[in-house]
Structure 1
Amino acid sequence: MERRTYKNGVTLVGSSEGPVAFAFTERTGGVSHPPFSSLNLGTHVGDDPAAVGENRRLVLEALGCEDALCHLIVPNQVHGDHVAVVRSPDEEALDAVRAEVADGADAVVCTLPGVPVLLCFADCVPVLLTCERGFAVVHSGWKGTIAGIAAKAARVLAQETGAAPREIRAYIGPHITGAEYEVSTELIERFAERFPGVVALGPSRLLDLAACIRAALGEAGVSAENVCDPDLSTVRENDRFFSYRAENGRCGRHGAVAIMR
């Protein structure tokens, strides 16, 4: 999938074709200062809120939807498995969704044109799901992965749009990969129990979250050939993406963003 586009210094990896425009952002082209340099999209890391706001505007401008900035949905991510749904253009309904995601959500399904959704990352796995009549943006850290949040979002997307799971396309964004993510013995055992045949027990405690996500999506009926994972590493490509682990916990956040036209 890795199609990089550039606008005014902002680099996006994704697609602006079809009914859903979507992208994973890179870390350059923004206005934030170190250690958040420069396209930090997270408000919770200690960066200047005005800089974050401008960075978000720049991303939507690069995606071709700057005029939708006032409708932007950015949930408070809590490493859970709650999936919020944006389906009604009624302002009261949109306000209710904003209140819902402020309380915590790690996936947003949207079937409403003109409403962009942004989630933020710095090692956890971003997942974008698209179909003809909607999309989902998913934050899948280890807690979300073992809870199957990407698969849950795919099921909700299918239900909300009437799409068959085989019609859904999934895109896995930059994350800490299985070659870099060492976890505890207890955690690797939990994943091996949940994903037998995907996670193996042995001397290595390296955990491949993307492989587990692909397996969970398969359980939800998403075809393997419709899952795109370009193996973008936040650690190996720390010049392109933020990494909490590589930067010792002090860094900005890149994003996964989508909008229905």
Structure 2
Amino acid sequence: MAARADRVSRVDHDGVTLVEGAIVDARFAFTERTGGVSEDAYSSLNLGSHVGDDPFAVQENRRRALEAMGATECEHNLLVPNQVHGDHIVTVTSNGADDLEAVREQIAEGCDAIVCTARKVPVMLCFADCVPVVLVAPNGFAVVHSGWKGTIARISAKACQALCEAAGCTPKDISAYIGPHILGDEYEVSQELMDRFAVEFACIDATDSRMLDLSAAIRETLVDAGVDVNGIVDTELSTVRQNDRFYSYRNEGGTCGRHAAIGVML
């Protein structure tokens, strides 16, 4: 039977607000920007360590985000990759210290999706307009960073395949969640890029406008990969219109913090 994705809920955890869900064994959340200790342009729950913020503030913010998810006990296993706008995927199958150290070496070299079938290993990817995608299977999950480069490379489909292989399931077993991002009526790109997307995706009409709907392309990607359309939830949350809740690189002139997509099996 095909997976049917549950809706997500917006929940406040002592000031840390999450758009969160839980399905099968996995907990996942899209963080908002409130409830942290960062200041100025990074105010306040900035989770990105590469944007110029105080590293100690970022560390405390990450601790608070995991605490809000009930994952404090496995904070030491947290994986945060160096995102490079590619389509490289790393799979984690063990929470052993040596195995996780090897994974950290891999993800430091650059990856944009992590598939995880190990318990007590939180996975965090950071965003400020690009599309976060969380895939959940009966025995694992994946967190995916899908900017326009990852989207046109169909990174969500590749992560789906990797998750199926690692978790021993089929795409019909997978539920997919598309988090806050710059929406299709906010994201103007070049005609050249629109034309490239129109060649790849039936849902993209390059003759209509130069507004690029990444989430539509991601949904098409997932359905083409075998995920049931009823198993896909798009939060339809805007990083641009709802800049008070989320960070937006474009709306904030390139200097801002990062919210995150986090997954964990406890």
TM-score bucket of the superposed structures, by smaller chain: over 0.9
- The residue identity in structure 2 corresponding to 1:48 is D
Separation in 2, partners of 1:5, 1:42: 22
3-state SS of paired residue (1:127): strand
1:26-45 superposed matches below 5 A = 26-45=32-51
Indicate if the aligned counterparts of 1:188 and 1:207 stay in contact, CA closer than 8 A: yes
Hey, what does 1:202 align to over in structure 2? 207
Query: 199, 207, 211: which is aligned to 1:193?
Result: 199
Hey, what does 2:248 align to over in structure 1? 243
Determine if the alignment matches structure 1 residue 144 to structure 2 residue 139.
no
Hey, what does 1:216 align to over in structure 2? 221
Query: 58, 67, 75: which is aligned to 1:69?
Result: 75
Indicate if the aligned counterparts of 1:126 and 1:174 stay in contact, CA closer than 8 A: yes
- The residue identity in structure 1 corresponding to 2:137 is C
- The residue identity in structure 2 corresponding to 1:119 is L
3-state SS of paired residue (2:41): coil
Determine if the alignment matches structure 1 residue 103 to structure 2 residue 106.
no
- The residue identity in structure 2 corresponding to 1:231 is E
Hey, what does 1:173 align to over in structure 2? 179
- The residue identity in structure 1 corresponding to 2:77 is H
Shift of 1:18: 3.5
Please give the TM-score of this superposition, normalised by the length of structure 1: 0.98
Hey, what does 1:93 align to over in structure 2? 99
Determine if the alignment matches structure 1 residue 159 to structure 2 residue 165.
yes
Shift of 1:92: 2.0
Separation in 2, partners of 1:150, 1:130: 12
Shift of 1:203: 4.6
Separation in 1, partners of 2:134, 2:104: 20
Provide the alpha-carbon RMSD of the alignment.
Answer: 0.9
Query: 230, 253, 258: which is aligned to 2:235?
Result: 230
Shift of 1:7: 1.1
Separation in 2, partners of 1:66, 1:103: 26
Q: Which runs of 5+ in 1 are unaligned?
A: none
Percent identity between the aligned chains? 57
Separation in 2, partners of 1:250, 1:199: 30
Indicate if the aligned counterparts of 2:81 and 2:110 stay in contact, CA closer than 8 A: yes
Hey, what does 2:88 align to over in structure 1? 82
